[in-house]
Chains A and B, each alone.
Chain A
Amino acid sequence: MHKTIMFALVILCGLSAGALAANQMIHQKGRVFSSESVSIKKGDALTFINDDSIPHNIMSGTKGSEFNLGSQAPGMSTDVTFKETGDIQVICAIHPRMKMMVKVTD
């Protein structure tokens, strides 16, 4: 069982490290996303960095690709991997002027 947990840890760490390698960064400074629209390949991740002075709540309500980072404090960073192709609208639930499109392609 010990080996099994180690194996699982390696998988999870590998996933995180892989995601870290070449992610596009999305900044939130000044209550705006640093890009209005980004294109990524299926299976790639974006890194959402809160480099603003206040909390944000990044999420998507696009059908099939819903996610919600919850309250992300300043100085925190989260990777989000997109596994299906399509146009996914990402918003900050708190700040309605913050919206961007993630175009996930094959």
Chain B
Amino acid sequence: MTGRFPRRSTMFATVVAAATLGAIGFAGISFGAVIVGETRRIDLSPKATPGMDAMKAQYRRPATIPFPKENPYTPEKVALGKKLYFDTRLSVTSAQSCASCHSPGFGWGDGLAVGVGHGMAKLGRHSPTIVNAAWGEIFMWDGRLATLEEQALGPIQAAGEMNMPLEQLMARLASIGEYKPLFATAFPDEGMNSKTLAKAIATYERTVVSERAPFDAWIEGNEKAISGEAKRGFAVFNGKALCSSCHEGWNFTNDGFQDIGLPSKDVGRGEFMPGVIKMQHAFKTPGLREIARRSPYMHDGSLATLEAVVDHYDHGGVDRPSRSDLMKPLGLTTQEKSDLVAFMQTLTSNLSPTAVPVLPR
């Protein structure tokens, strides 16, 4: 150091020192348009544990189905959407319909570990149920689609699934004489196109709602509707087992994304949020309605029974940086585990049979 530029060298050293301190002390600091300060602990007033009545009040069924203002309910749309949903001619082979993988016979799933697509090839993930999709905030296991209308067109076009280009599909439907008047009635101003196809299917799907289960009767005050084991399981679900941190509300999901430590290479939500550690191996939390009819479980269908699912959560899964901070060994007793399963069984209704529609020719 010559002493000729003492101030500049001091400033330079200061910047280096500040940057070093920043890097060591406050890893979040950045020098872009946004500066993240240090994270500090604050005092939160201790929360009173909610009583059983307050807890139960959070699980009341809604009175009506929400429909978006861009695609309001009409019975004509539902009737058309139901025919499209069950029509195998929506796939290039004319062998698969939406209902092939989302069948009312299996709680609106397919009962398989992973879906089966075009050419009977296995897909990478479990076919999710469409039950209560009307309340969904975001769609697909990895959340890559924002609306149910977009979702309806996804599997139709996906090469591995129904493999049907939309242009080809609309030409095929136009050649089926009885479809045209159905579209004209349901969409008098919009006609027959891929947008109205998506709107009709989505509207039908929104009407697929889990029916009243024993759990609902208990929530509404019938103490005899579920067993003592199930009631204890409800308390464990909302307490020690932390299930309700994610499986919350009447549909038992907040549509959040969590890595629950399943030993799968699939990065899930991480594909769309590559820089966010907690989104690696994260999948959307599924609702639990009709759960007893929806085995096998998890995004990869890797667990055959509800007992195995409870064991997985009790163990905590693979410990890795992306794993949810809520996942940790729970230390559940044998009784607590069987109570949890007894509780989950009460979320399944006696779904009324769904009549397959007569399809246009």
What residues make up the interface of A, taking CB atoms closer than 8 Å to B? Answer: 1, 4-5, 7-9, 11-12, 15-16, 19, 31, 45, 49, 51, 53-55, 57, 59-60, 64-84, 88, 93-97
| A residues in contact with B17, CB < 8 Å | 1, 4-5, 7-8
Residues from chain B with Cβ under 8 Å of A55 in the complex? 324-326
A93 touches B273 (CB 8 A): yes
How far is B235's CA from A9's CA once the two chains are assembled, in angstroms?
49
Interface check B205, CB cutoff 8 A:
no
B245 and A60 contact, CB distance less than 8 A: no
Min C-beta distance of B321 to chain A, whole Å: 9
A55 to B279, CA, bound (A): 13
Q: Please give, as numbers and ranges, the residues of chain A lying within 8 Å of B138 by CB-CB distance.
A: 96
B37 within 8 A of A: yes
A75-B44, A80-B37 known; A31+B325 contact, CB < 8 A: no
Quick check: which of B170-178, B254-262, B306-314 contacts chain A, the rest being far away? Answer: B254-262
B32 within 8 A of A: yes
A69 touches B10 (CB 8 A): no
If the complex has contacts A93-B279, A94-B257, are A82 and B33 also in contact, measured as CB distance less than 8 A?
yes
* Of the residues B30, B36, B39, B47, contact of A76 by C-beta under 8 Å: B39
Contact call A57/B276, Cβ cutoff below 8 A: yes
Contact A67 B34 (CB under 8 A): yes
Contact of B36 among A67, A88, A93 (CB under 8 A): A67
Q: Give the CA-CA distance A75 to B32 in the complex, in Å.
A: 27
A43 to B326, CA, bound (A): 35
How far apart sit A1 and B282, CA to CA, in the bound complex (Å)? 46
Q: Which residues of chain B are near A71, meaning CB under 8 Å?
A: 277-278, 325
Q: Report yes or no: A12 in contact with B22, Cβ–Cβ below 8 A.
A: yes
Q: Is the CB of A69 within 8 A of B39?
A: yes
17 new A-B contacts, CB < 8 A, other than A78-B38, A96-B143, A97-B254, are: A5-B17, A19-B37, A45-B37, A53-B245, A57-B279, A65-B33, A67-B30, A67-B34, A69-B36, A71-B278, A77-B40, A79-B38, A81-B37, A93-B257, A93-B276, A96-B137, A96-B138
Counting from the closest, the 3 A-B pairs by CB-CB distance are: A79-B37, A84-B33, A8-B18
A96 in contact with B256 (CB, 8 Å): yes
Which single member of A7, A57, A64 contacts B278 (CB below 8 Å)?
A: A57
How far apart sit A78 and B34, CA to CA, in the bound complex (Å)? 13
If A8-B17, A94-B257, A95-B256 touch, whether A69 touches B28 (CB-CB below 8 Å) is: yes
B11 to chain A, nearest CB (A): 9
Which residues of B lie under 8 Å from residue A78 when comparing CB positions?
28, 36-40
Binary contact track B36-68/A, C-beta < 8 Å → 1, others 0 = 111111111001000000000000000000000
Which B residues are CB-close (under 8 A) to A74? 44
Complex CA distance for A95 and B246, rounded to whole angstroms? 9
